[in-house]
Amino acid sequence: MTQRRPLVEALLKFQQQQPVSFHVPGHKNGLLSTLPDAIRPALAYDVTELEGLDDLHHPEEAIREAQELLAEAYGTEESFFLVNGSTAGNLAMIYAVCEPGDRIIVQRNCHKSIFHALELAAAVPVFLTPTWDEETMTAAGLEALQVEQALQQYPDAKAVVLTSPNYYGVVQAELEAIIALSHQYEVPVLVDEAHGAHLRIGGPFPASALVHGADVVVHSAHKTLPAMTMGSFLHVQGEMVKPEQLTKYLRMLQSSSPSYLLMASLDDARAYLHTYTQADHRSFEEKRRLFLEGLSAIPKLTVVESDDPLKLMLRVERWSGFQLKEQLEAEGIYPELADAYQVLLVLPLLKSGQSFPFAEIRSRIKDAVKALASKPRTEWLAAPFQKEMMSEPEYTFREVSSAGCEWVPWTKAAGRVSAGAVIPYPPGIPLIVPGEVWSTEKLALLMDNLAFGASIQGEHRLKEKLLKVMKR
Ligand SMILES: Cc1ncc(COP(=O)(O)O)c(C=O)c1O
Q: Which residues contact 87 (CB under 8 A, 6 or more apart)?
A: 111, 113, 116
Q: How confident is the model at residue 187 (pLDDT cuts 50, 70, 90)?
A: very high
Rounded CA-CA distance 370/260 in Å is 46
Quick: pLDDT tens for 102-126: 999 999 999 989 999 999 999 999 9
Residue 227 in this model has a pLDDT that exceeds 70:
yes
Rg of the Cα trace of the chain?
23
In the reported structure, the alpha carbon of residue 223 is separated from the centroid of ligand 1 by a whole-number distance in angstroms of 9
Query: Which one-letter DSSP state was computed for residue 354?
Result: -
Secondary structure (DSSP) of 273-284: HHT--HHHHHHH
pTM higher than 0.85, yes or no? yes
pLDDT of amino acid 239: 97
Residue 231 in this model has a pLDDT that exceeds 80:
yes
In the reported structure, the alpha carbon of residue 224 is separated from the centroid of ligand 1 by a whole-number distance in angstroms of 12
Q: How confident is the model at residue 449 (pLDDT cuts 50, 70, 90)?
A: confident
Task: Please identify, by atom number, the ligand 1 atom nearest to the C-alpha of residue 82.
Answer: 10
Whose alpha carbon is nearest atom 1 of ligand 1? 111
In the reported structure, the alpha carbon of residue 205 is separated from the centroid of ligand 1 by a whole-number distance in angstroms of 20
List residues near ligand 1 (CB under 6 A). Answer: 85-87, 90, 111, 113, 163, 167, 192, 194, 220, 232
Least confident of 18-22, 225-229, 386-390: 386-390
Asked if 398 and 122 count as a contact pair (C-beta separation under 8 A), the reply is yes
Quick: pLDDT tens for 51-66: 999 999 999 999 999 9
Residue 93 in this model has a pLDDT that exceeds 90:
yes
Which of 106, 164, 220, 232 gets mutated to test ligand 1 (max ligand atoms within 8 A of its CB)?
220
Least confident of 192-201, 250-259, 442-451: 442-451
Task: Please identify, by atom number, the ligand 1 atom nearest to the C-alpha of residue 230.
Answer: 10
pLDDT of amino acid 21: 94
In the reported structure, the alpha carbon of residue 173 is separated from the centroid of ligand 1 by a whole-number distance in angstroms of 21
Mean pLDDT of 147-168: 97
Quick: pLDDT tens for 236-290: 999 999 999 999 999 999 999 999 999 999 999 999 999 999 999 999 999 999 9
**Alpha helical stretches, state H, 297-382:** 321-330, 358-372
Rounded CA-CA distance 308/206 in Å is 6
Task: Please identify, by atom number, the ligand 1 atom nearest to the C-alpha of residue 110.
Answer: 1
Whose alpha carbon is nearest atom 7 of ligand 1? 86
In the reported structure, the alpha carbon of residue 18 is separated from the centroid of ligand 1 by a whole-number distance in angstroms of 38
Q: How confident is the model at residue 454 (pLDDT cuts 50, 70, 90)?
A: confident
pLDDT of amino acid 274: 96
pLDDT of amino acid 283: 98
Question: Residue 312: helix, strand or coil by DSSP?
Answer: strand
Q: How confident is the model at residue 2 (pLDDT cuts 50, 70, 90)?
A: low
pLDDT of amino acid 1: 52
In the reported structure, the alpha carbon of residue 406 is separated from the centroid of ligand 1 by a whole-number distance in angstroms of 29
Asked if 78 and 99 count as a contact pair (C-beta separation under 8 A), the reply is no
Task: Please identify, by atom number, the ligand 1 atom nearest to the C-alpha of residue 89.
Answer: 11
Asked if 416 and 408 count as a contact pair (C-beta separation under 8 A), the reply is yes
Mean pLDDT of 295-322: 96
In the reported structure, the alpha carbon of residue 374 is separated from the centroid of ligand 1 by a whole-number distance in angstroms of 36
Which of 86, 138, 336 gets mutated to test ligand 1 (max ligand atoms within 8 A of its CB)?
86
Average pLDDT, the chain: 95
In the reported structure, the alpha carbon of residue 91 is separated from the centroid of ligand 1 by a whole-number distance in angstroms of 11
